[in-house]
Amino acid sequence: MKGSKPANSVKLTKCQLNFKEDKHDLLPDQLKIQIDESIENNSLRCHILFLDAANLYNKIDFDGTETVNIDFATLGDREVSSTFRIYKTDVQPDPNGGNSQAVHLHGVSAEHFTSAILDVNQSYRESIGQFAQLVFDKLKSDKKLTVHKTDGRGTTIIPGMTVFEAMDFLVSRAYSTSYRSSAYRFFETLDGFYFANIEQLIAEGKEDAITFIKNQDARIKPVASWDTIESINFNIAKDSMHKIMSGMYASEAKEIDLINQRVIESDFILGEQFDEFEHTDTDAMSLESLDFIEDSLKNINTSFWLFSGQTGETTAQSGNFVDIIPRRMYYLSALEQVKMSMMIPGHSSLSPGQVVKIDMLEVTSKTKGKEQAAKISGNYFVTDVQHIITQEGYNCIVKGCKDSYRSNIPNPDKNIVSKRPS
Contact between residue 12 and residue 82 where contact means Cβ atoms under 8 Å apart: no
Report domain extents, the chain.
10-110, 118-197, 207-237+336-417, 240-332
Instruction: Return the pLDDT at 351.
Output: 96
Question: Rounded CA gap, 198 and 353, in Å?
Answer: 7
Question: Rounded CA gap, 310 and 247, in Å?
Answer: 29
CATH T-level assignment (fold) for domain 10-110? Thrombin, subunit H (2.40.10)
Instruction: Return the pLDDT at 225.
Output: 77
Instruction: Return the pLDDT at 13.
Output: 93
- Topology match between the domains 10-110 and 207-237+336-417: no
Write down the pTM of the prediction.
Answer: 0.88
Please provide residue 101's backbone torsions phi and psi, each rounded to the nearest 5 degrees: -85, 155
Instruction: Return the pLDDT at 290.
Output: 74
Contact between residue 373 and residue 360 where contact means Cβ atoms under 8 Å apart: yes
Which pairing describes strands 393-402 and 338-345: parallel, antiparallel, or unpaired? antiparallel
Per-residue confidence in pLDDT tens, the chain, 422 aa = 444 567 788 999 999 999 988 999 999 898 999 999 999 999 999 999 999 988 999 999 899 999 999 999 887 778 999 999 999 999 988 887 777 899 999 999 999 999 999 999 988 888 899 999 999 999 999 999 999 999 887 777 898 999 999 999 999 889 899 998 999 999 999 999 999 999 999 999 998 999 998 876 544 555 567 888 999 999 988 777 777 776 777 777 666 666 676 666 677 777 678 888 999 998 888 877 777 777 666 556 665 555 555 443 434 444 467 778 888 888 998 899 899 999 999 999 999 999 999 988 765 555 455 455 667 889 999 999 999 999 889 999 999 999 988 766 556 566 777 766 55
| 3-state DSSP of 69-98 | EEEEEECCCCEEEEEEEEEEEEEEECCCCC
Q: Which residues of 269-300 are buried (b: 16+ CB within 10 A; e: fewer)?
A: bbeebbeebbbbbbbbbbbbeeebbeeebeee
Q: In CATH, what number does 207-237+336-417 get?
A: 2.40.30.150
Instruction: Return the pLDDT at 263.
Output: 65
